Amino acid sequence: MFMITEFAARPRGLMDLSTELRLKIAEYALAYDDGLHAYPVSKSALYYRTKRPILGTEHMTNNDSPRYNALSFTCRQLWNETQDLPYQVNAITFRSQLLYLMFFLKRAPAHVLQKMQHIKIVFHLLHMKYGGFEHFTKGLTELLKKIPHVQVQLITVNWDSSKLLVQDWVDMGKEIEERTRILDSAGGVRRWRLFPNPVNESRLQFFRDVLDKDQLQKVLEWIKNGI
**Residue pair 30/81 in contact by the 8 Å Cβ criterion:** no
Bigger pLDDT: 8 or 203?
A: 203
Distance from C-alpha of 216 to C-alpha of 222, rounded to nearest angstrom: 10
Residues shown for the chain: 227
CB 145 within 8 A of CB 112: no
Number of helices followed by number of strands (H, E) in the chain: 11, 6
Q: What is the mean pLDDT of residues 179-204?
A: 87
CA-wise closest residue to 216 among 202, 206, 225: 206
Determine contact, residues 152/117, Cβ cutoff 8 Å. no
pLDDT tens-place string over residues 50-82 = 455 667 776 655 555 556 788 888 888 888 888
Residue 41 pLDDT: 59
Q: Are 87 and 112 in contact (CB under 8 A)?
A: yes
pLDDT given at position 45:
46
Calpha distance 128→148 (Å, rounded): 25
The arrangement of strands across the sheet holding 92-95 comes to 54-56, 36-39, 92-95, 118-123, 151-156, 192-196
pLDDT at 2 over 60: no
- Given this model, what pLDDT does residue 50 score? 44
Query: Of 59, 79, 60, 58, which is closest to residue 69 (Cα–Cα)?
Result: 79
Asked if 128 contacts 71 with a C-beta cutoff of 8 angstroms, the reply is: no
pLDDT (0 to 100) of residue 67:
66
DSSP-assigned beta bridge partners for residue 135: none
* Mean pLDDT computed over 174-195: 86
Instruction: Give residue 40's pLDDT band: very low, low, confident or very high (50, 70, 90).
Output: low
From the number of C-beta atoms within 10 Å of its C-beta (0-12, 13-18, 19+), residue 204 rates as middle
Q: Is 217 helix (H, G, I), strand (E, B) or coil?
A: helix
- Return the beta strands (E) in 34-188 as ranges: 36-39, 54-56, 92-95, 118-123, 151-156
| pLDDT tens for each residue of 97-144 | 677 788 888 878 888 888 999 999 988 876 566 667 777 888 888 888
- Inform me whether the pLDDT recorded for 221 exceeds 60: yes
